[in-house]
A and B are shown apart, each in its own frame.
Chain A
Amino acid sequence: MHSPQPNHDTRASDDWPSELYRILKAADVRQMSYVPDAGHSQLIRMFSADRDVTTNVLTTEEEGIAIAAGAWLGGQRSVLLMQSSGVGNCINMLSLSAIGRFPLLMLVTMRGEWAEFNPWQVPMSRATQPSLEAIGLKVMRAETAEDLVETVESAASLAYESDQQIAVLIGQRLIGKKKW
């Protein structure tokens, strides 16, 4: 393909958080909630600096499931950022999204699956996808920056236009090894 933007792939690889921010803004996301993860730090900074988006820092991840449902009741789209260990905290609250068919988009950075230093991250890493699927979410996964950008764009449409509950798992290989 003769693309007029030959640097697109390079740019996505270098700066996928900016691409995700652009996609979520284009999807009219107005609320963002998070429990921090190093892999989400740039996206958190970008949303926190955005006066058109209300940002909530959470004490535990399931709070964001409830906030997203409330936002939708009030006519706004919300996105929730967490790492895989937080998925375990969400399971019962996800009943709300599942039974109410509330649009839900969670971006989950994976720990415990690739060059992981902390063994305590491994059990919940293993349980992340099965437990999300058990409670009724659709799980999508990306291992490269290019795939992630496309996956989040698709997931946002499925969530907000088709009332689906989606978790996008961001592979630890993509995020890179944590420096200890």
Chain B
Amino acid sequence: MSMSNPSQLDRRAAVAALLKDRRNTLVVSGLGSPTYDLHAAGDHDGNFYLWGAMGGAALIGLGLAQAQPSRRVLALTGDGEQLMGLGGIATIGVARPRNLDIVVIDNQHFGETGMQASHTGRGVDLTAIAMACGFVAAAIVRTLEEVQGLAKQIAEPADGPRLFVVKVLAENPPRSLPSRDAVFIKNRFRAHLGFAAA
């Protein structure tokens, strides 16, 4: 299996383009670089940042999407985080939410722990797994133009969950750190949706 990574796409530019016109979209970001990418694109009350709970981003997205069916929900995560939650792709495929998209920022490495190569650079295709689990759309994109098209696509309603892989250059840009206080981020998020803190 090939270990080549032809993508030279900058992850921060990709995430910024993806969220440029996010409107009412709610976003859950996975440990760790996607959390920094989401924060770098602009802190927002409708963001929930994970600093742990690896493998949980897309499933938090599922619970949220089921509770808020009129909102679009985006789980923004990395290849390592999603690989730890592979079973969740089956659970989401069965649940079939119409307002949940998973976008995997895929540098094909465990970037937070020393850039060890991950499975996605060795032939494991998350989009094929998603389609086999009943997702209604899945694609791999590699250029900024394709990401801009993807941003338009995920703003539109779907008949079920979708998963997109954005292949990016394996590098660690300077960290952009959101609050690590999960209670604060939780209550801020809920207040954004109109729920008072208990």
**Chain A residues packing against B (C-beta within 8 Å):** 30-31, 54, 56-60, 62-63, 65-76, 78, 92-93, 95-96, 99-102, 161-163
Contacts and interface: CB of A to CB of B under 8 A. Distances in A.
Contact of A71 (B55, B64, B90): B64
A73 B59 CA distance: 12
| Secondary structure dominating the interface of B | helix
Contacts, number: 124
Contact of B186 (A65, A67, A71, A100): A100
Nearest to A162: B198
B198 A161 contact: yes
A70 B63 contact: yes
Contacts of B94: 56-57
Given A59-B87, A74-B68, A75-B193, A95 B52 contact: yes
Nearest to B193: A75
Nearest to A64: B59
| Range for the number of chain B residues in contact with chain A | 35 or more
15 contacts: A57-B94, A59-B90, A59-B91, A66-B53, A69-B53, A70-B59, A70-B64, A71-B66, A72-B190, A74-B64, A93-B53, A95-B53, A99-B52, A100-B185, A101-B183
Interface in B161-198: 182-183, 185-186, 189-190, 193-195, 198
Contacts of A66: 53, 55-57, 59-60, 62-63, 88
Contacts of B64: 70-71, 73-74
Interface of B: 26, 28, 48, 50, 52-57, 59-68, 71, 85, 87-88, 90-91, 94-95, 182-183, 185-186, 189-190, 193-195, 198
Residue among B28, B54, B90, B182 with most chain A CB within 10 A: B182
Contact of B183 (A54, A71, A100, A162): A100
A92 to B, nearest CB: 7
A78 B66 CA distance: 11
Residue among B28, B55, B63 with most chain A CB within 10 A: B63
Given A59-B90, A63-B85, A93-B55, A73 B198 contact: no
B157 to A, nearest CB: 18
A74 B66 contact: yes
Contacts of B66: 31, 54, 56, 67, 70-71, 74, 76
